[in-house]
């Protein structure tokens, strides 16, 4: 049960639903769920079952309704209880689901303490900002005092909560950073009693007792800032903030030495209570602080560049990933004409060290020549992506036309690009699988209404940062997303959105191929969008809050789509039949059940202590004559489909990684330029199927698929229960390895 739950789902209701409704598990659905979202039940020494997870998630959300505070009206309780039951049926059957973050956190004590953990991703501008009334305010600052450290502290905090962070290093932001005033002598100390002391010393720390014997107690020294890192997320963030600010003029008398004592930080492998997972030990923190200090030292007397600011963000992401089950998702957003930013990943040494930690995109203003140049670079380097902020600021759905006030303060996006965001703002997602919903007899307008209300309640959670509280209460931005879109087009309309092409001649004489959109699908999407807006207006009036600034999106999906077995976001299925490979830690007890069922399992050739399991997958609608896959559909049709969804469905943005064949490279600049002003963000990736060992997805023939299917026997769910009836050491901290919540791998697992 969620903490302080006024509204709960009865045991009798749950029992009836589980007896009469079957979840629409995909081929990898239950396995993905069990090792990604099923929380450990300490008192029962087992992980949750799906019915328990959905109950926790729904109760955690429904009780966020602000009308339940104080003395709620009985009619409100009755209304929300009925809504909770409908939500339960919807999610349990896998016709729709909240984001992976909600599946993991909703209804837990961690949600109560940190409501922002319900949000997937964030955006922050790299410029001096005040901490305000936030959970983390450095003691040497006034809350309203702008500080250089704030955006990186915000980034570090949200990444450690499991979110992804987009950040802007455009000229207009980084030039606001003050000049780096001084070099700093950084000393990191660790007590020999810490069981990770040896590893931490290798990362650059010194033995505390020996240093104090030679230098005296650091807190008593002039010109020195001493900080003993508390064994908490906040402690790590404060250590970074103090180091950054020491290079500027934020301390009352200026300092020359910073001493960071990590002796109290729990050692590698210790349990992290609350969010979950295991600790990395203090070594990654020490390594990160040393690397950040070197960047700032090198800029003493000068200003930070966009590359410097991105490097600091990447070093933070690297520290979050190191030795932990969390994933770090970052998007660095730079200027189109910033050559240093655009080429920073060409430094192979720096790329290997930390610059891998972000996907990099550039801000464009809709000029076709910018898109052409991006395409040329993508063919060579795979980056950058494109973000058209002007389009996002002045348009919701493109079909609704130009509006000066559509989203005027938007400055960036989340790491996958489907939500344009203001400074400090999170994305807030709910995902609908329309083909499954209709198969199960749901009215899509009812489903959309439930999705809107679920996401709207998330905006009433507790947020640790003042900048976030302000923007969330002003915008109430939500992102109702459709997934399995290509499956739905085939099952509902028996065709794709693009029915053909026509030639058009522009005023300058340029001839362009224009897509012909299916008007029945367009009308269906238009009607669904209006249903979302109507549901939001109605619920906003009930709650007495602002209607949402924007409402709809298409997220790339990944882990969540695998639960239901649908195509990911707007992406086409990989193939009619393919192998999906998933990596597990080698001591994961699920491997026993999968092995007993006949799944092929082998050691990972790239990573130690990791096993690879092969799952045969048959795509929904594979036998339709109109079926298309990532290996057969053109880049041009993918872009046209993205533009179609941007016009008729999404008032935020549409995330898509457009795959292109080798044969399309020559025409790719022209093709991409044709969609300038029609897509708000996009990225491109060369299509690869085969060519290296243990690819995540690999096309196979129908004969090979049937051969693999025939080799399977038994139900892994039953075998897991039989083979695993007691807690194994560290089991509560296991997770799927290398499986992201988004198809492109940009988002965190949870």
pLDDT digits (tens, 9 = 90+) for 565-613: 999 999 999 999 999 998 888 888 889 889 999 999 999 998 778 899 9
The whole-number pLDDT of residue 586 equals 84
* Within-domain flag for 566: no
**Segment 731-741, tens digit of pLDDT:** 444 444 444 45
Please write down the long-range contacts of 531-536, taking CB distance under 8 Å and 24 or more positions apart: 531/444, 531/445, 531/448, 531/449, 532/448, 532/451, 532/452, 532/480, 535/448, 535/449, 535/452, 535/453, 536/452, 536/456, 536/478
The whole-number pLDDT of residue 322 equals 76
Burial of 177 (0-12, 13-18, 19+ CB in 10 A): buried
Q: Is the pLDDT of residue 251 over 50?
A: yes
pLDDT band at 141 (very low <50, low <70, confident <90, very high): very high
Q: 144: which residues sit within 8 A by CB, 6+ positions away?
A: 130, 132
Phi, psi of 403 (to 5 degrees): -140, 125
Assign residue 132 a region (left: φ > 0; alpha: ψ between -120 and 50; beta: otherwise): left
Q: Is the pLDDT of residue 202 over 50?
A: yes
Q: Between 156 and 593, whose confidence is greater?
A: 156
The whole-number pLDDT of residue 136 equals 92
* Within-domain flag for 271: yes
DSSP reduced 3-state for 317: helix
The whole-number pLDDT of residue 723 equals 59
The whole-number pLDDT of residue 325 equals 43
Q: Is the pLDDT of residue 252 over 50?
A: yes
Q: 389: which residues sit within 8 A by CB, 6+ positions away?
A: 363, 410, 411, 412, 420
The whole-number pLDDT of residue 508 equals 75
The whole-number pLDDT of residue 593 equals 87
The whole-number pLDDT of residue 722 equals 64
**Segment 22-78, tens digit of pLDDT:** 999 998 899 889 878 999 898 888 889 999 999 999 999 999 999 998 888 999 999
Q: Which domain does 280 fall in, by range?
A: 136-154+178-329
The token pair at 75 is 């009619």
Q: How far apart are CA 220 and CA 217, in angstroms?
A: 6
Q: What is the chain's Cα-based Rg? A: 26
The token pair at 437 is 């919903």
* Within-domain flag for 376: no
Residue range 461-475: mean pLDDT, rounded: 96
pTM of the model: 0.93
* Within-domain flag for 33: no
What CATH number should be reported for the domain holding residue 323?
3.30.1620.10
Q: How many domains does the chain have?
A: 1
Single out the residue of 171, 175, 179, 127 nearest to residue 148, CA to CA. Answer: 127
* Within-domain flag for 715: no
Residue range 88-97: mean pLDDT, rounded: 98
741 neighbors 560 (Cβ within 8 angstroms): yes
Across-strand partners of 697? 580
* Whole-number average pLDDT of the chain: 91
The whole-number pLDDT of residue 735 equals 43
495 neighbors 519 (Cβ within 8 angstroms): no
* Within-domain flag for 310: yes
* Within-domain flag for 42: no
Q: Is the pLDDT of residue 750 over 90?
A: no
Q: CB-side exposure of 57: number of CA atoms within 13 Å?
A: 30
The whole-number pLDDT of residue 511 equals 76
pLDDT band at 1 (very low <50, low <70, confident <90, very high): very low
* Within-domain flag for 25: no
pLDDT band at 222 (very low <50, low <70, confident <90, very high): confident
The token pair at 169 is 């290093």
**Segment 656-666, tens digit of pLDDT:** 999 999 999 99
**Known catalytic residues?**
416, 418
């Amino acid at each position: 049960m969620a903490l302080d739950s006024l509204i709960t789902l009865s045991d009798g209701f749950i029992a009836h639903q589980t007896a009469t409704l079957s979840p629409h598990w995909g081929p990898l659905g239950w396995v993905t769920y069990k090792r990604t979202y099923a929380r450990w039940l300490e008192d029962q020494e087992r992980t949750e079952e799906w019915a328990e997870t959905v109950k926790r998630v729904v109760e955690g959300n429904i009780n966020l309704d602000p009308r339940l505070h104080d003395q709620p009206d009985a009619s409100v309780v009755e209304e929300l209880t009925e809504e909770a039951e409908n939500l339960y049926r919807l999610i349990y059957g896998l016709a729709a689901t909240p984001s992976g973050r909600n599946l993991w956190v909703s209804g837990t004590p961690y949600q109560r303490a940190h409501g922002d953990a319900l949000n997937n991703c964030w955006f922050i501008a790299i410029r001096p900002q005040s901490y305000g009334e936030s959970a983390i305010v450095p003691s040497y600052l006034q809350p309203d005092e702008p500080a250089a450290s704030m955006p990186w502290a915000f980034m570090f905090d949200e990444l450690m909560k499991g979110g992804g962070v987009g950040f802007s290093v455009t000229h207009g932001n980084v030039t606001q950073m003050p000049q780096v005033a001084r070099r700093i002598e950084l000393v990191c100390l660790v007590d020999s009693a810490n069981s990770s002391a040896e590893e931490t010393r290798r990362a650059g720390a010194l033995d505390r007792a020996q240093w104090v014997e030679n230098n005296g107690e650091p807190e008593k020294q002039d010109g020195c800032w001493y900080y003993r890192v508390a064994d908490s997320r906040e402690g790590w963030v404060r250590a970074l903030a103090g180091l950054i600010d020491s290079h500027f003029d934020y301390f009352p008398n200026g300092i020359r030495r910073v001493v960071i004592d990590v002796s109290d930080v729990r050692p590698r492998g210790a349990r992290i209570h609350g969010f979950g997972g295991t600790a990395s030990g203090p070594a990654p923190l020490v390594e990160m602080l040393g690397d950040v200090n070197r960047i700032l030292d090198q800029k003493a007397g000068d200003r930070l560049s966009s590359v410097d600011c991105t490097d600091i963000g990447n070093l933070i992401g690297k520290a979050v990933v190191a030795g932990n089950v969390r994933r770090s998702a970052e998007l660095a957003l730079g200027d189109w004409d910033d050559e240093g930013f655009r080429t920073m990943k060409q430094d192979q040494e720096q790329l290997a060290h930390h610059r891998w930690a972000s996907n990099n995109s550039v801000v464009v203003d809709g000029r076709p020549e910018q898109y052409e140049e991006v395409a040329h670079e993508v063919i060579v380097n795979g980056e950058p992506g494109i973000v058209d902020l002007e389009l996002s600021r002045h348009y919701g759905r493109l079909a609704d036309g130009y509006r000066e006030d559509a989203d005027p303060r938007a400055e960036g996006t989340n790491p996958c690009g489907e939500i344009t965001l203001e400074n400090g703002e999170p994305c807030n997602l709910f995902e609908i699988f329309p083909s499954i919903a209709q198969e199960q007899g749901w009215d899509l307008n009812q489903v959309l209404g439930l999705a809107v209300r679920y996401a709207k309640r998330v905006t009433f959670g507790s947020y640790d940062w003042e900048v976030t509280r302000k923007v969330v209460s002003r915008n109430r931005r939500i992102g109702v997303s459709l997934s399995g879109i290509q499956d739905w087009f085939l099952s509902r309309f028996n065709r794709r959105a693009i029915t053909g092409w026509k030639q058009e001649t522009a005023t300058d004489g340029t001839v362009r191929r224009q897509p012909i959109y299916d008007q029945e699908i367009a009308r269906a999407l238009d009607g669904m969008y209006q249903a979302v807006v109507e549901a939001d207006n109605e619920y906003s009036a009930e709650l007495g809050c602002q209607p949402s600034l924007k409402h709809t999106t298409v997220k790339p999906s990944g882990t969540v789509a695998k639960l239901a077995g649908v195509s990911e976001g707007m992406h086409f299925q990989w193939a009619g039949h393919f192998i999906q490979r998933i990596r597990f830690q080698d001591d994961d007890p699920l491997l026993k059940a999968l092995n007993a069922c006949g799944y092929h399992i082998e050691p990972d050739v790239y990573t130690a202590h990791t096993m690879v399991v092969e799952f045969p997958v048959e795509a929904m609608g594979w036998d339709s004559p109109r079926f298309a896959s990532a290996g057969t559909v053109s880049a041009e049709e993918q872009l046209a489909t993205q533009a179609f969804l941007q016009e008729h469905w999404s008032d935020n943005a549409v995330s898509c990684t457009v795959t292109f064949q080798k044969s399309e490279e020559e025409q790719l600049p022209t093709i991409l330029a044709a969609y300038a002003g029609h897509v708000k963000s996009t990225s491109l990736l060369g299509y690869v199927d085969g060519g290296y060992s243990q690819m995540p997805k690999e096309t196979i023939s129908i004969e090979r698929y049937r051969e693999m299917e025939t080799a399977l026997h038994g139900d892994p769910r039953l075998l897991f229960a039989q083979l695993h009836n007691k807690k194994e050491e560290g089991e509560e901290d296991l997770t799927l390895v290398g499986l992201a919540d988004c198809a492109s791998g940009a988002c965190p697992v949870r």
